[in-house]
Structure 1
């Protein structure tokens, strides 16, 4: 029996794939009609459809039996893995300020550039972790084996290592384990998420999705802060009460989480919390970016750039001071944990924006192509759509403009990036909003 293979593109994930053309197949001549006998039923009963949205990152493979039609089978051609791994390791396009401004408005060129980046998705056979499927939010978004986070068994509960859908991601200049990209926790993986945060000593968590958009995107995995009262006297009483009780608390897995402070920013929420296991307590900060609209890309780069700047400033404040003598092992803040729903789309946008801003500050140029390739080597499918890719160029072009203007105006001063009034150029905004992609990560 011979088969033709054709591919259906998942419109909700917008994962780009390489397709091959198929020769037209001519069916045999139809049988003569019998006026006395009704034609046989040839249409199979309709099966319950499976939403493509549940197959993120996949290429739905459809096999058609054409042996009875006498057609010559088409040989499938696939690119050897070594070839596209080489592309991911070597692709580069460093751009200075002027070149970046021009590249950001050339949508056709960016689309062509993006389509050539191999996705580097992982199959279940490559992962080879028994029972992992029940802990994957999307069955085809799997962690790359070489860089995946492995949950070690706690000393008080000896046992085998455990699985979590998460990858270490390299940062600026290839810094190892600068980030962890992971999926949004599910009801039965919340405990695993906090085990990972504790194990990796992470002090920063970035959440780039709402809890629910068209459907559930992420389980609520931290205690919600109390709503503050309006009257000043009641506010003071509440603050005193929180100091006595230690703030809003909740138990998640093995840990007790306590909210210390929460404040709204323009486009995101910052919550300072404490995580406790037995008698040990650690502080961390949770950033919840809520201004990324469902089904679209942001119309403005300001909120994302503000978030990137705030996270970087806070991260720097956690680094040990160089003036203090080193008397023991240095414990840094741990990787920055970033997640959306699947952990590849909006998660990738934040990480690439963060790395790109550092590149522009340090060297005056940025290599978005190389950075996206680096991310996909660490976790397949990072930056999920053409629209996201173009948005990255627009975001970093805006940042470069602010940096460039500040340096030209007063090159002797420390560079101060003011992000309050950043807006996309009207041409860029029109181009981006006309993109058909929908973001669901």
Structure 2
């Protein structure tokens, strides 16, 4: 495949890891802290317990729910669930300390760490939910015992104070203020004086920090842009070290600096809010491009071959009867073999977003079961081979579910993937298309994979580019990768024009050039939009290599031999033909006459 390097946008902004803190009186800022990997120490447990290790699913998720002005939940979000919370005097508590607190709590309550789900470290609080367990402990049981029976042990072993425990919506922990017993007259006056003094100190420090860092900020952004994950391979170590330094130096005054760029706010908010199922990060965390910056068309295609292919495509699109018959024949095509029993087994059924679009038994991505939290090798993903069976050109997969995010990152890690193509918004018309499998800001831990969002750049209204810093906390290895997110492809339909997708594809391929790993392509179910993109990319890559005979229908059958349902509708097939014709036309115009 002919692919290329993706230049890092000059205005890309590096994001610092963020952990929301409690909303104390007068505190309008939010602390930031760098998350550290969970400790790998084993616990001494009884026969019915499990040891916390890389094989157990400790997953930190960042989820938030937007409340409407009338107190209800906005359209497109779901009502918040109840969580248990343990609030400490450590602000912020930090990811490593939060995981350690969870380990000790599980040990003292004789629970497996796998009994805890939906774990988050939020400011000074650890929030969690409980699944069914052998001790039949409920969420309230665990919260109550953490605040009464084992509170002293937790405080002694961790060197911190457990201020409050309870059960409620997750935002109750983040909005926590000091208990009401501070309300007597003297303590109230003293507390008010301390708060006012802190506010004054913060204001002075913020002003000083703003002045000192204002001039250095642009220079640092330019250095990061020049060393991004799309840059040359020999800059990777310097880039990673720079990321670490930047994240360590980022302070709580970052929010104050956001007001320095009001011109970006409306642009970023208007684009991002349409396609997300959760509140967006601060506008200062993003950068945007005001207009199209089309990639130059490059190809080795012969002029006469190009004209011949273009005439064939145009005839295909003009002759509606021919197109209809070809699609009818494609609908009747049946891959052999086509058994999907593994994906449809009881153990794996809940891992599929759509049970109609699952991998074949004989050609599917297999995870290393010994490294998987559920000790399973299954993920709803299929390798798509172009010509070399030893090296898939693509991995076609569904949008991760909340409980398969760790599996997704395991697949990314084990196949050495550096490019992810995402073709669906997170939610559309109040229907979830894909769970957010990356942190909205800062870093999150998914099993043993720590994912840090380094930058997010909005190229135009149709797509954006995110850079990630991926770390295996078990081996301490680190990698960088890039996600290209196409936003304007509706679930029921096709894009209004082919131009945005073709420009999107060129940027993907420039980033990918020279890599020897598959490109991960996913939409919601990993079939319709995913299959259409792969079909267009595969056909155009063959043309770029000088192949003179192109049969798009045969190419689609080749793809469907490897994953069912690829290209779901006649409109998608016609869109693929149109996209190929328009790209060939653009290539011909760019060639010397």
TM-score by length of 2: 0.45
- The answer to whether the 8 A contact 2:342-2:348 is kept is no
User: SS where residue 349 of structure 1 aligns?
Assistant: helix
- The alignment status of 1:397 with 2:581, answered yes or no, reads yes
Determine if contact 1:177/1:335 at 8 Å carries over to the other structure. Answer: yes
- How much does 1:398 deviate? 0.3
Distance across 2 between alignment mates of 1:211 and 1:143: 22
Match of 2:467 among 266, 269, 272: 272
CA distance in 2, matches of 1:406, 1:338: 28
Q: Which residue of 2 aligns with 1:27?
A: none
Selected match of 1:98 from 288, 311, 318: 311
SS class of match (1:342): coil
1:406 positional shift: 2.2
Task: Give the counterpart of 1:256 among 443, 450, 465.
Answer: 450
* Contact 1:123 1:140 (8 Å CA) reproduced: no
How far is 1:295 from its partner?
Answer: 2.4
1:129 offset after TM fit, Å?
Answer: 4.7
Aligned to 1:337: 520
Deviations 1:171-193 (A, max 9, x none): 36778411000111001111111
Contact 1:168-1:180 within 8 A present in 2 as well: yes
1:296-320: per-residue Cα shift (whole Å, max 9, x none)? 211111111111111111111x43x
Q: Specify the alignment match of 1:219 in structure 2.
A: 435
Decide which of 337, 352, 357 is 2:540's aligned counterpart.
357
**Structure 2 vs 1, CA of residues 114 and 174 (structure 1 numbering), >3 Å: closer, same or farther?**
farther
In 1: Cα distance, 2:415 partner to 2:388 partner: 21
Residues 160 and 258 (structure 1 numbering): CA distance in 2 closer, same or farther, change over 3 Å? closer
Q: Partner of 1:188: helix, strand, or coil?
A: helix
Question: How far has the Cα of 1:365 moved from its partner?
Answer: 5.1
1:141 aligns with 2:357: yes
1:90-129 equivalent positions in 2, closer than 5 A = 96-117=309-330, 118-120=333-335, 122=338, 124-125=340-341, 129=345
Looking at structure 2, the residues matched to 277 and 211 of structure 1 have their Cα atoms a distance apart, in angstroms, of 26
CA contact (8 A) 1:110 1:389 kept: no
Work out the CA distance in 2 between the residues paired with 1:253 and 1:172.
34
- Which of residues 474, 480, 485 in structure 2 aligns to 1:288? 485
Aligned-pair CA distance for 1:160: 4.9
Q: Secondary structure at the match of 1:273?
A: strand
Paired position in structure 2 for 1:382 = 566
Distance 1:125 1:272, change over 3 A: closer
Alpha carbons of 1:270 and 1:185: their partners in 2 closer, same or farther (altered >3 Å)? same
Contact 1:119–1:381 under 8 Å retained in 2? no
Contact 1:275 1:282 in 2 (8 A): yes
What is the CA deviation profile of residues 49-88 of structure 1, one whole-angstrom value per residue up to 9, with x for unaligned ones? Answer: xxxxxxxxxxxxxxxxxxxxxxxxxxxxxxxxxxxxxxxx
Q: Tell me if structure 1 keeps the 8 A contact 2:343–2:349.
A: no
| Distance of 2:493 and 2:341 partners within structure 1 | 33
Distance (whole Å) between structure 2 residues aligned to residue 175 and residue 97 of structure 1: 32
RMSD: 2.4
Looking at structure 2, the residues matched to 158 and 135 of structure 1 have their Cα atoms a distance apart, in angstroms, of: 14
Partner of 2:557: 373
Residues 535 and 555 of structure 2 are in contact (CA less than 8 Å); yes or no, is this contact kept in structure 1? yes
The separation in 1 between residues aligned to 2:342 and 2:455, in whole angstroms, is: 43
Residue-pair matches, total: 279
How far off is 1:195 after superposition? Answer: 0.8
* 2:87 paired residue number: none
Normalising by structure 1, we get a TM-score of: 0.59
2:407 aligns with 192
- Alpha-carbon distance in structure 1 between the residues aligned to 2:387 and 2:317: 21
Q: Quick one: structure 1 residues 172 and 268, their matched pair in 2 at CA, closer, same or farther if it must change by over 3 Å?
A: farther
- Deviation, 1:140, is 2.1
Give structure 1 stretches of 5+ with no counterpart.
1-94, 226-247, 320-331, 412-441
Kindly report which structure 2 residues correspond to 1:208-247, keeping only aligned pairs within 5 A, or say none: 208-214=423-429, 215-225=431-441
The aligned residue for residue 498 of structure 2 is: 301
Q: CA deviation at 1:253?
A: 2.8
Corresponding residue for residue 88 of structure 1: none
Partner Cα distance (1:190, 1:158) in 2: 11
Where does 1:197-208 land on structure 2 (aligned, <5 Å)? Answer: 197-208=412-423
Give how far 1:201 is off: 0.8
Write out aligned runs for 1:314-325 (5 A).
314-316=511-513, 318-319=514-515
Q: Which moved further from structure 2: 390-399 or 360-369?
A: 360-369
Q: 1:178 to 1:190 in 2, by over 3 A?
A: same
Write the distance in 1 (CA, Å) between the matches of 2:363 and 2:380. Answer: 11
User: In the alignment, is the contact (CA less than 8 A) between 2:426 and 2:436 conserved in 1?
Assistant: yes
Structure 1 residues 159 and 300 mapped into 2: Cα distance closer, same or farther (>3 Å)? closer
Larger CA deviation: 353-362 vs 372-381: 353-362
